Structure 1
């Protein structure tokens, strides 16, 4: 039975993450020949290549990908076990890294995160801003523990711990002509100035899917990678956009924005998720934060929203 050298697996993981042995060596502050030697010994042990070196960098074989998956699962399990031991010792310390889409920030910061940090002052939280595609990449590379994402593409490597219906609704200035059309359809939207978010975000992927299904093409006056820019586009009276209602919750209550029902079935079926990497065991701190956010955030607690 093979007993893989942990150092070789560590070097293989870094080479795959950096895309070359030279960059991995620089990252690890060692000589590239040390990495090459360890990978060579690993390949000799199992009898097949784990990766290919070329002028373009380092590419994993299927065997290499399996070894990387094993290594990351082992590291995650070690971290989870260490965290549980500390919890049993009532140390209550830990660290959670969270990838968050911009649209979730107001809901996250308003009370849930503050309450969690007050209750568990020794757990450190890192929040990384990321669109849906970037958040999924960070999860799959085990760079973050959890991610709050809107309408991510289906992926067998992800686990959705919480999923909440959050339609992508039509956001307009108060008194806009479409507020007098109930319900407003997707084709009526084409007649007015529109702002859209990039397709790296779940909202952008949904609007692109609507275009494909309806054989239409939105011609936005404004494209952006910022939810705040979308919101201010509507607040200034310049035109329309698509966003979940909770993203503009305060502005709706203040009468500064009007929210109309999603003008297409695809948009009405959108969901918000809290996800993690399949096979990665969550730490005690991550599990506590997951439960806290699912109970405390309006995006995931339908009773409160």
Structure 2
């Protein structure tokens, strides 16, 4: 069985069309059909059923489809490891991440890292925490950086860094008078919050319920940029980790006000890898760089508290 046949089959599964798969691979449709026939001969079973609507996988085809993509990704990974043995500092790193905080963590890290290693290439996929962890387990991602991640098996947490959510407001807002703000005081202000599918929003709803408070946010959105703009305009306050709006805080546009007492919301950022997969030079070096960056953030927060 040739690798090319698996590549053609994987593209056919992805596009569900002989014509589209052929166009994407820059080959004739007959070449796709011939390679599928080779696979069917190799496995001794039909893999696809052809119709005017496209192709439909057989039971055997479903089994192969579930494994072909990972097999091809692992072969690409082996190629990268072989290049590393040759001393070449080139390569590609796939990172999956979730949450607005993660986006703001990764952007400065990758920007600085790329200046040091200009030959490396990166792809960053922002998705849910569960999908990010699944991507590491299925070899789609080299590294996952997750926020509010569920407990999942099969993934190694390289580093866990705790973060707290603060009240984010403009310096002109009445809340700016507080060094620490009581949770009950939040009911006096127009709140902008993420929609209920976000892990943070669920934690915040539970906190309000525990305190016996009614939660009635004026604005609900799935966009971090929308939350920031609403706060910057003075129309609302929100709750986010200070890291999320670090640039605006440094510019004097926003303030991060801790919640008083022990009623705050805390979560963790996890830096995750697959426990049984050797990373390439590019991925290993980036992993170390992210870990150092996260530790420095943790240390700086500890110093400020002290």
The answer to whether the superposition gives a TM-score over 0.5 is yes
Q: Which whole-Å CA distance do the structure 2 matches of 1:115 and 1:193 have between them?
A: 37
Pairing 1:117–2:117 present: no
Please, which runs of 5 or more residues in structure 1 have no aligned partner? none
Rg larger in structure: 2
Q: Which whole-Å CA distance do the structure 2 matches of 1:93 and 1:99 have between them?
A: 20
- Deviation digits for residues 208-230 of structure 1, max 9, x if unmatched? 46548959996543344432332
Shift of 1:282: 2.8
Q: Which whole-Å CA distance do the structure 1 matches of 2:49 and 2:152 have between them?
A: 27
Partner of 2:124: 128
The equivalences for 1:180-219 within 5 A come to: 183-184=182-183, 189=186, 192-197=189-194, 204-208=198-202, 211=205, 214=209, 219=216
Pairing 1:139–2:138 present: no
Q: Which whole-Å CA distance do the structure 2 matches of 1:206 and 1:58 have between them?
A: 42
SS of residue in 2 equivalent to 1:242:
strand
Partner of 1:176: 175
Q: Which whole-Å CA distance do the structure 1 matches of 2:231 and 2:89 have between them?
A: 44
Question: Among residues 3, 8, 16, which one is paired with 1:6 in the alignment?
Answer: 3
- Deviation digits for residues 156-213 of structure 1, max 9, x if unmatched? 575544332224444344532995885415xx6455422233567xxx2431465489
SS of residue in 1 equivalent to 2:254:
coil
Note the aligned Cα RMSD (angstroms). Answer: 4.3
Flag the 1:284–1:58 CA change in 2: closer, same or farther, 3 A. Answer: farther
Q: Which whole-Å CA distance do the structure 1 matches of 2:129 and 2:223 have between them?
A: 15
Shift of 1:290: 0.9
Conserved 8 A contact 1:162-1:273: yes
Q: Which whole-Å CA distance do the structure 2 matches of 1:244 and 1:252 have between them?
A: 11
Please, which runs of 5 or more residues in structure 2 have no aligned partner? 302-306
Pairing 1:233–2:230 present: yes
TM-score, L = length of structure 1 = 0.71
TM-score, L = length of structure 2 = 0.71
- Deviation digits for residues 17-61 of structure 1, max 9, x if unmatched? 224444323322234444344334434443455456667655656
Partner of 2:257: 259
Partner of 1:303: 299
- Deviation digits for residues 118-145 of structure 1, max 9, x if unmatched? 433332x335362436973993686654
